[in-house]
A and B are shown apart, each in its own frame.
Chain A
């Protein structure tokens, strides 16, 4: 039983971490909370549904297509809507909240209101007293790989530019870095990661335009607990919250699985506002 609980918690947590990664990047680099983040997650799930049922792709083959589409949409949203008000945190928050609501309506018009569902993508495995959907296992591995790639990406030349922009945007501008373009790229990459999370979870949940609401709340909790802009800390916070949600849901009551992320937000803000994964990237 314990093995099953831990396995469920770990895999849930890895997806929490991947979903939150984009939000953490955007907050770390742009200092804004993108409340439309859940919409990119929902888009990932729904686009996967269309690619599987209409284009005949399998879920895994759909992943790069979904990420590319979410990336392009993220770039467009940042360039046309978020970019012009980037310096006004409240305006960005209200704008992205409105975008999230509007995006749900557009997705409902495109995919309908009914719950959609994809068939299982892989068999069920039994190992060491735990039973696991192989697709969920693969999704967890994929989440880790994407987080690793993102971390590696931040160590490249472009990654150094991104980190410099996060630490000192004015200084970055002074040395000739086009910070507008860097922030647009980060927003696009965040959208792609959210879309990837929507794709990876598409076979084990109902798909609907509203499916991004919960991941947004959980992502906020992960970012607050892990601290912004720190990839290992974000993934670690995701796993911590995933395991905590499953354990509290089993040993206390299922309702605690929702209260756990909310409680984590409150405790972290009270005890360690900068998150548990070290100091956030400094701006000045």
Chain B
């Protein structure tokens, strides 16, 4: 009797949870009109990277609406088929298989983590589907194209890779802040080790030395020991390589320890205005963004985004998600086709406008970011809860 009662209870609870999930839109693919150009989106919408995945999805939705308002792709509306990758390569791969094998999408946009995108890339290559990468920064992704063009030509990356990221941040440290030393602190993940090495390699010839480098575990961000070491070393600026919520905890702990050293975040959670307003940190706080208010396309995007989603964008995953689809749609329209073999030459030779600037791709299909390129990125400083572009160039 008790077991029957329990089975009934469990059934009711799971039905309620399923209903909740459906109500809050946790189910993935929606129905696309038959004539629509279907674009598969792979983003972590649950798990520890859900925040970035969600803003990437919202940026893509903004781009879809803009493209459809302008007539779509060759007269057909764009439909996004979104799959939650959970931040896991195996889930991302299965989702890509579903999108290419069952949904027959015209292209894939994603994923978020480099590990996920690596798994998706193999599916894109096998199915000969275009893969536009909006976020993942691992240099190896586009190096595949340089090494084996015939196989990997389907991949294009709009975001900055690790070397470019290091150059963008390094230029600001050496040129904008005119600092001669810095500390590098972040979560203990491969990506951060690669960024630290690239930044040190970029800044050393400019006479800027890394005086302290430390990583805290993602699972247990131990801020106090790191901050005490920073108090002892006293670097001129601290590069904070943690795009997640851990960076928020670190800045709060820094306040509690009375630190006022300039902090320079790679972006992510510290690019959120509501978060920035709550920190109460006494020192200058900067972060690297792909775009920020101050230029015409960015201003329009930031205003529309804030109106639609009731909070301003962070200037990274949302901007790059938007631009990934915008670039793809422009290339498909110029090619007059969605077929990869028609679109790839257009992407390779063309210039495409986006919120962050003008996208051009190099021989490895990497967007050209950096000083003197169409994509310069922006360093933003929080002043009284308002993000101000630090224009030093």
- Please give the residue numbers on chain A whose beta carbons come within 8 Å of chain B beta carbons, in ascending order: 1, 4-5, 8-9, 12, 80-81, 84-85, 102, 104-106, 108-109, 112-120, 124, 126, 131-133, 136, 203-208, 210-211, 213-214, 217-218, 245-246, 249-250, 253-255, 257-258, 261
Whether B101 is near chain A, meaning CB under 8 Å from some CB there, is no
Q: Within 8 Å CB of A261, what residues of B?
A: 220
Contact with A along B21-56 (1 / 0, CB 8 A): 101101000000000000000000111101101110
Whether B66 is near chain A, meaning CB under 8 Å from some CB there, is no
B258 touches A210 (CB 8 A): no
Q: Nearest B residue to A112 by beta-carbon distance?
A: B54
Whether B228 is near chain A, meaning CB under 8 Å from some CB there, is yes
Distance between Cα atoms of A205 and B220 in the complex (Å): 12
Given A246-B222, A249-B225: A115 and B5 within 8 A (CB)? no
B50 touches A108 (CB 8 A): yes
Distance between Cα atoms of A120 and B282 in the complex (Å): 12
Q: Within 8 Å CB of A258, what residues of B?
A: 217, 219-220, 222
A-B pairs, top 10 by smallest CB distance, nearest first, are: A206-B245, A113-B50, A257-B222, A258-B220, A249-B225, A133-B256, A250-B225, A84-B6, A115-B245, A109-B24
Q: Within 8 Å CB of A257, what residues of B?
A: 216-217, 220, 222, 225
A81 touches B217 (CB 8 A): no
Q: Nearest A residue to B217 by beta-carbon distance?
A: A258
B280 touches A119 (CB 8 A): yes
Most buried by A among B5, B46, B54, B224: B224
CB distance from A30 to the nearest CB of B (A): 17
Q: Within 8 Å CB of B9, what residues of A?
A: 80-81, 84
Q: How large is the interface on B (under 10, 10 to 19, 20 to 34, 35 or more residues)?
A: 35 or more
A204 touches B46 (CB 8 A): no
B228 touches A210 (CB 8 A): no
Of the listed stretches B90-98, B193-201, B270-278, B371-379, chain A binds B270-278
CB distance from B214 to the nearest CB of A (A): 6
Q: Within 8 Å CB of B244, what residues of A?
A: 115, 206
Given A109-B24, A115-B269, A250-B225: A120 and B280 within 8 A (CB)? yes
Partner of A109 from B2, B26, B225, B272 at Cβ < 8 Å: B26
A105 touches B26 (CB 8 A): yes
Distance between Cα atoms of A271 and B17 in the complex (Å): 43
Distance between Cα atoms of A210 and B37 in the complex (Å): 35
A250 touches B214 (CB 8 A): no
Within 8 A of A (CB), among B232-259: 232, 244-249, 252-253, 255-258
Whether B342 is near chain A, meaning CB under 8 Å from some CB there, is no
Q: Within 8 Å CB of A8, what residues of B?
A: 224
A255 touches B20 (CB 8 A): no
Whether B188 is near chain A, meaning CB under 8 Å from some CB there, is yes
Q: Within 8 Å CB of A9, what residues of B?
A: 224
Partner of B248 from A115, A131, A217 at Cβ < 8 Å: A115
Q: Nearest B residue to A5 by beta-carbon distance?
A: B228
A254 touches B47 (CB 8 A): no
B278 touches A208 (CB 8 A): no
CB distance from A203 to the nearest CB of B (A): 8
Distance between Cα atoms of A213 and B275 in the complex (Å): 21
Most buried by B among A131, A132, A245: A131
Q: Nearest B residue to A7 by beta-carbon distance?
A: B224
Partner of B249 from A81, A206, A245 at Cβ < 8 Å: A206
A204 touches B224 (CB 8 A): no
Q: Nearest A residue to B280 by beta-carbon distance?
A: A120
Partner of A208 from B17, B245, B257 at Cβ < 8 Å: B245
Whether B174 is near chain A, meaning CB under 8 Å from some CB there, is no
Given A117-B274, A206-B245: A81 and B215 within 8 A (CB)? no
Given A8-B224, A119-B280: A204 and B252 within 8 A (CB)? yes
CB distance from A257 to the nearest CB of B (A): 3
Q: Nearest A residue to B249 by beta-carbon distance?
A: A205
A124 touches B258 (CB 8 A): yes
Q: Within 8 Å CB of A249, what residues of B?
A: 216, 222, 224-226
B257 touches A4 (CB 8 A): yes
Q: Within 8 Å CB of A105, what residues of B?
A: 17, 21, 26, 46
Whether B146 is near chain A, meaning CB under 8 Å from some CB there, is no
What are 28 pairs between A and B in contact, CB < 8 Å?
A84-B5, A84-B6, A84-B9, A104-B46, A106-B17, A108-B50, A109-B21, A109-B23, A112-B54, A113-B51, A115-B272, A117-B275, A117-B278, A119-B278, A120-B252, A120-B280, A124-B255, A204-B252, A246-B224, A246-B225, A249-B216, A253-B214, A254-B214, A255-B217, A257-B216, A258-B217, A258-B220, A261-B220
Distance between Cα atoms of A9 and B224 in the complex (Å): 9
Whether B383 is near chain A, meaning CB under 8 Å from some CB there, is no
Q: Within 8 Å CB of B311, what residues of A?
A: 114
Q: Within 8 Å CB of B24, what residues of A?
A: 109
Q: Nearest B residue to A102 by beta-carbon distance?
A: B17
Whether B279 is near chain A, meaning CB under 8 Å from some CB there, is yes
Contact with A along B203-236 (1 / 0, CB 8 A): 0000000000011110110101110110010000
CB distance from A88 to the nearest CB of B (A): 11
Partner of A81 from B10, B214, B226, B257 at Cβ < 8 Å: B10
Given A85-B6, A120-B252, A250-B228: A255 and B258 within 8 A (CB)? no
Q: Nearest B residue to A206 by beta-carbon distance?
A: B245
